[in-house]
Amino acid sequence: MCKLRWVLSVVCLYCVGASAQGAPQVFVSTGSAGAIYSLNPVNGNLTQLVSTEGADYEGMVVAPDNAVADLPPADPAGTTHYLVYVCDPANSRIWRFDPAAPATLEKIYNGGALQNPQCGRITSTGDLVVSSTVAGSGLWVFSGITNIPLGSGVQTPTQLVGISGSGEGIAQKNIGDLLVVDRTNGNVLRTPLASPATTTFISGLSQPVGIARRGDGGVFVGNQGQHNVMQFDAQGANGTQCQTFGDADVPNFMQMALDNTLYVAVAGAQAGSVRSINANTCQAIQTYPVPNGAVGIALPPTMTAARTVTVSNGTVLLNFGFTAFELNQISGPCSGTVFAGLASPAAIYSLIGLSGTPADPAVNLGLDGFEVVFSTANLNGCNSASGANNFQVSDLVSPAVNNPEIVVCDDPNTNCQPSHTNLQQLGSWPIGGYLPADLTTGGAKSLRCNIFLVNARQMSTLPGQEVGTFCGFNPPVNNTFTGTLNSWNTAMASIVKSGSTVAVKFNLALGTNPNACRRGPFINDAVALLSIALVEDANGNPVFVPIMPGAHGSAGPITPLFNVDGSRQYAFNWDTSSCVMPSGQVQTCPLGKYSLSVQFLTNNTTGGAQSIYGAQTTIVQLR
Query: What is the C-alpha separation between 604 and 600, in angstroms, rounded?
Result: 6
pLDDT value for 600: 80
pLDDT value for 17: 30
pLDDT value for 177: 83
381-424 residue pLDDT tens: 888 777 777 776 677 777 677 777 778 888 888 888 765 443 44
210-253 residue pLDDT tens: 999 987 788 999 999 999 999 998 889 999 999 999 999 999 99
pLDDT value for 483: 84
Whether the predicted pLDDT of 273 surpasses 80? yes
Bigger pLDDT: 329 vs 90: 90
Calculate ∠ Cα 515-521-522, nearest 5°.
100
User: Could you give phi then psi for residue 89, rounded to 5 degrees?
Assistant: -65, -30
Amino acid code (one letter) for 1: M
Bigger pLDDT: 565 vs 292: 292
pLDDT value for 611: 63
Whether the predicted pLDDT of 570 surpasses 90? yes
**Secondary structure percentages of the chain, helix, strand, coil, to 5:** 5, 45, 50
pLDDT value for 512: 84
Whether the predicted pLDDT of 470 surpasses 60? yes
pLDDT value for 559: 61
User: Could you give phi then psi for residue 516, rounded to 5 degrees?
Assistant: -65, -20
Average of per-residue pLDDT values in the chain: 83
Whether the predicted pLDDT of 95 surpasses 90? yes
Bigger pLDDT: 350 vs 83: 83
Bigger pLDDT: 136 vs 406: 136
pLDDT value for 397: 77
Burial of 312 (0-12, 13-18, 19+ CB in 10 A): exposed
Calculate ∠ Cα 121-185-210, nearest 5°.
30
142-195 residue pLDDT tens: 999 999 999 999 999 999 999 999 999 999 876 668 999 999 999 999 998 767
Whether the predicted pLDDT of 286 surpasses 60? yes
Cis ω before 111 (30° cut-off from 0): no
Give the mean pLDDT of 457-478: 83
pLDDT value for 336: 93
Query: What is the C-alpha separation between 363 and 400, in angstroms, rounded?
Result: 10
User: Could you give phi then psi for residue 355, rounded to 5 degrees?
Assistant: -80, -25
For residue 473, give the H/E element and its range: strand 468-474
- Strand order of the β-sheet with 128-132 is 117-122, 128-132, 139-142, 158-161
Work out the end-to-end distance of the chain between its first and last CA atoms, rounded to an integer number of angstroms.
Answer: 45
Query: What is the C-alpha separation between 367 and 459, in angstroms, rounded?
Result: 29
pLDDT value for 427: 52
**Closest-CA residue to 75 (of 404, 389, 442, 379):** 379
Ordered by where they begin, the domains of the chain are 4-13+305-456 (2.60.220), 26-298 (2.120.10.30), 468-622 (no CATH)
The whole-model pTM stands at 0.79
Give Cα 309 to chain centroid, integer Å. Answer: 22
Burial letters 487-500, b for 16+ CB under 10 A, else e: ebeeeebbebebee
Whether the predicted pLDDT of 555 surpasses 70? no
Counting residues of the chain whose pLDDT is more than 70, the rounded percentage is 84
